[in-house]
Amino acid sequence: MNFIQALNTIWEKNNSLVCVGLDPDLRKIPQHLQDAEYPLFEFNRAIIDKTADLVCAYKPQIAYYAGAGLERDLELTIEHIHTAHPGVPVILDAKRGDIGSTAEMYVMEAFERYKADAVTVNPYMGTDTLEPFLKRDDKGVVILCRTSNPGAIDFQDLDVGGQTLYQTVAHKAHTDWNRNGNVMLVVGATYPEELGQIRAMTGDMPFLVPGIGAQGGDVENAVRNGKDSRGTGMVINSSRGIIYASNGEDFADAARAATLSLRNEINTHR
Amino acid sequence: MNFIQALNTIWEKNNSLVCVGLDPDLRKIPQHLQDAEYPLFEFNRAIIDKTADLVCAYKPQIAYYAGAGLERDLELTIEHIHTAHPGVPVILDAKRGDIGSTAEMYVMEAFERYKADAVTVNPYMGTDTLEPFLKRDDKGVVILCRTSNPGAIDFQDLDVGGQTLYQTVAHKAHTDWNRNGNVMLVVGATYPEELGQIRAMTGDMPFLVPGIGAQGGDVENAVRNGKDSRGTGMVINSSRGIIYASNGEDFADAARAATLSLRNEINTHR
């Protein structure tokens, strides 16, 4: 079963488009976990075990582990998802992008070392830098298209001859890069009109959708514009709104409540 | 002394524009080092100690360490450069780029954890994603502009209204992003004409120039087109041509000979 098939299965099984972003900051996790041997892993594990029946994916952001020198916590987190909750895919958010020989090492990082099911990549350097990822037909390749941040307009919205740069990326993803049926696009919830445009260009290609919650994206508009022909096609990420729903010892229960609430809100609009 | 001042100093002191790319692959380093506790560090240290008087910088590519789970080797490598060869700057090649809160973690990764002097970043997501790096006026921010790989043409060369995307990046780097005097651009040696264009747009802004050697870039054309008004302004990277100059026990001596030869070839054309 490849990554997109796994997504299709879990969308249905858990009736959920919610992805929990596992971006734990050592300075923000509850006090009682900060002295654990693997504090970020302990924090993640508690949240994972309370939410795994409500999500379609987990998305750890590698910067939070690498910045703190806690790679082992990331390894343990992904291993725990695979063993305790098989069938829930893991998207490693790393936004890698480099020349071929280096890209091969990033492929190793994402898929051999961390055993992620998919990884986010940056298209700026062009097709040859994506190839080492694209050829992995067992894995998902999640390509930045129209991101959720204010600066997305600086380059992604530039007109490159009748269409924007992000539309050109979407077009290439749909027509050139998806020969193995393993491509997704990052499209921010903060720009629902662009979500609709990209949906119209890409059939049922799945989108990873950041930007709801702390970043201000509206769930209803995002879902209405981003869903595919079957009412799925979206992996809607929430990080801070879920993992920091409480900063006390009840953080995992609060994360479950926040995940359930988001799942239900999304499902109202599918 | 900030990063650009450090570069100016070492360009003069070592009379060199050569940067050695420390991209060691565990499968390619000499047999006798493969069982060391820190094999990539031992490999790097031998090369560093033989070349530090001939270079203007070292550029470890983080993917080679992260792919193998050998972050400690990278920490030790950079620490060794700082202690044994103070004044030789370290550019961490990581090509990071993400929203502000995540970018802050990547700043921690590059500058607090690894203690690099500069880091490479990807501009696709826009100005706000670069800000956490740009505000570090003590460090260098090396922004992808026109890269050395074949796929660079896919997006970087698109016309965005009278100029290419990479020219737009160069223009923003020169006019908006360099308020702290800490910006460099990545411009590949494989496209000497573009090097000349970008030099004409950016005054004496330093360039990190990959692409000579294994990637096929011509030294003479790169130097003639890329040098600044003082005959410096370039950090010309060679990785495989230097670190794998020999695969035997003489690898460090061979690396020195290759570095010296490249330095002299470059200096002929300055």
Give the DSSP per-residue string, A59-124.
EEBHHHHHTTT-HHHHHHHHHHHHHHSTT--BEEEEEE---HHHHHHHHIIIIIIS--SEEEE--T
Residue of B nearest to A131 (CA): B151
**What is the pLDDT, as a whole number, of residue A217?**
79
Amino acid letter, A58: Y
Using the Cβ of A169 and the Cβ atoms of chain B, whether some distance falls under 8 Å is answered with yes
Give the integer Cα–Cα distance in Å for B59 and B41. Answer: 14
Tell me: the pLDDT tens digits for B11-31? 999 999 999 999 999 999 999
**What is the pLDDT, as a whole number, of residue B66?**
98
Tell me: the pLDDT tens digits for B140-175? 999 999 999 999 999 999 999 999 999 999 999 999
Residue of B247, B259, B250 lying closest to B51 (CA atoms)? B259
CB pairs under 8 A between A and B: 180
Contact check, Cβ <8 Å, A158/B150: no
Residue of B120, B175, B110, B114 lying closest to B143 (CA atoms)? B120
Asked if residue A4 lies in contact with residue A206, where contact means CB atoms within 8 angstroms, the answer is yes
Contact check, Cβ <8 Å, B102/A128: no
**What is the pLDDT, as a whole number, of residue A215?**
75
**What is the pLDDT, as a whole number, of residue B216?**
78
* Alpha carbon separation from A23 to A40, A91, B128, B131 (Å, rounded): 9, 12, 19, 20
**What is the pLDDT, as a whole number, of residue A48?**
98
List A95, A115, A135, A227, catalytic entry = A95
| Tokens 């916590």 belong to residue | A73
Residue of B nearest to A187 (CA): B125
Tell me: the pLDDT tens digits for A8-19? 999 999 999 999
**What is the pLDDT, as a whole number, of residue A76?**
98
Nearest to A97 among B23, B95, B158 (CB): B95
Asked if residue A100 lies in contact with residue B210, where contact means CB atoms within 8 angstroms, the answer is no
Report, at the CATH architecture level, how domain B3-268 is classified: Alpha-Beta Barrel (3.20)
Contact check, Cβ <8 Å, A63/B106: yes
Give the integer Cα–Cα distance in Å for A190 and B233. Answer: 40
Using the Cβ of A108 and the Cβ atoms of chain B, whether some distance falls under 8 Å is answered with yes
Residue of B nearest to A146 (CA): B125
The minimum CA-CA distance between B230 and chain A, rounded to whole Å, is 30
CA dihedral for A127, A128, A134, A140, sign (positive or negative) = negative
Show which of residues 43-102 on chain B sit within 8 Å of chain A, judged by CB atoms.
Answer: 61, 63-64, 66-69, 71, 95-102
Give the integer Cα–Cα distance in Å for B145 and B195. Answer: 10
Tell me: the pLDDT tens digits for B74-124? 999 999 999 999 999 999 999 999 999 999 999 999 999 999 999 999 999
Give the integer Cα–Cα distance in Å for A165 and A155. Answer: 7
Burial class (CB in 10 A: 0-12, 13-18, 19+), A140: buried
Residue of B7, B5, B8, B33 lying closest to B251 (CA atoms)? B33
A95 is catalytic: yes
**Test the A interface: residue of B23, B93, B99 with most A CBs within 10 Å:** B99
* Alpha carbon separation from A116 to A75, B211, B215 (Å, rounded): 9, 31, 30
ipTM exceeds 0.90: yes
Asked if residue A19 lies in contact with residue A237, where contact means CB atoms within 8 angstroms, the answer is yes
**What is the pLDDT, as a whole number, of residue B203?**
97
| Percent residues over pLDDT 90 in chain B | 97
Q: Which residues of B touch A212 (CB under 8 A)?
A: none
Contact check, Cβ <8 Å, A165/B160: yes
Q: Which residues of B touch A151 (CB under 8 A)?
A: 125-130
Residue B1 has pLDDT above 90, yes or no: no
Residue B217 has pLDDT above 90, yes or no: no
**Test the B interface: residue of A71, A76, A129, A154 with most B CBs within 10 Å:** A154
Q: In what order do the strands lie in the sheet with B207-209?
A: B57-60, B18-22, B234-238, B207-209, B183-187, B140-146, B118-121, B91-96
**Test the A interface: residue of B102, B127, B177 with most A CBs within 10 Å:** B102
Give the integer Cα–Cα distance in Å for A237 and A58. Answer: 8
Task: Count CA atoms closer than 13 A to B46's CA, side-chain side.
Answer: 22
Q: Which residues of A touch B126 (CB under 8 A)?
A: 147, 149-156
Quote the tokens at residue A88: 């829930």
Using the Cβ of B181 and the Cβ atoms of chain A, whether some distance falls under 8 Å is answered with no
Q: Which strand (E) or helix (H) includes residue A234?
A: strand A234-238
Residue B214 has pLDDT above 80, yes or no: no
- Give the mean pLDDT of chain B: 97
Residue of A44, A23, A144 lying closest to B95 (CA atoms)? A144
Give the integer Cα–Cα distance in Å for A198 and B106. Answer: 29
Give the integer Cα–Cα distance in Å for A163 and B243. Answer: 44
**What is the pLDDT, as a whole number, of residue A28?**
95
Asked if residue A18 lies in contact with residue A54, where contact means CB atoms within 8 angstroms, the answer is yes
The minimum CA-CA distance between A39 and chain B, rounded to whole Å, is 17
If DSSP codes are grouped into helix, strand and coil, which group holds residue B209?
strand
Question: What average pLDDT values come out for chain A (270 residues) when binned by 10 residues?
Answer: 96 98 96 95 98 98 98 98 98 97 97 98 98 98 97 97 96 98 97 95 97 85 96 97 96 98 96
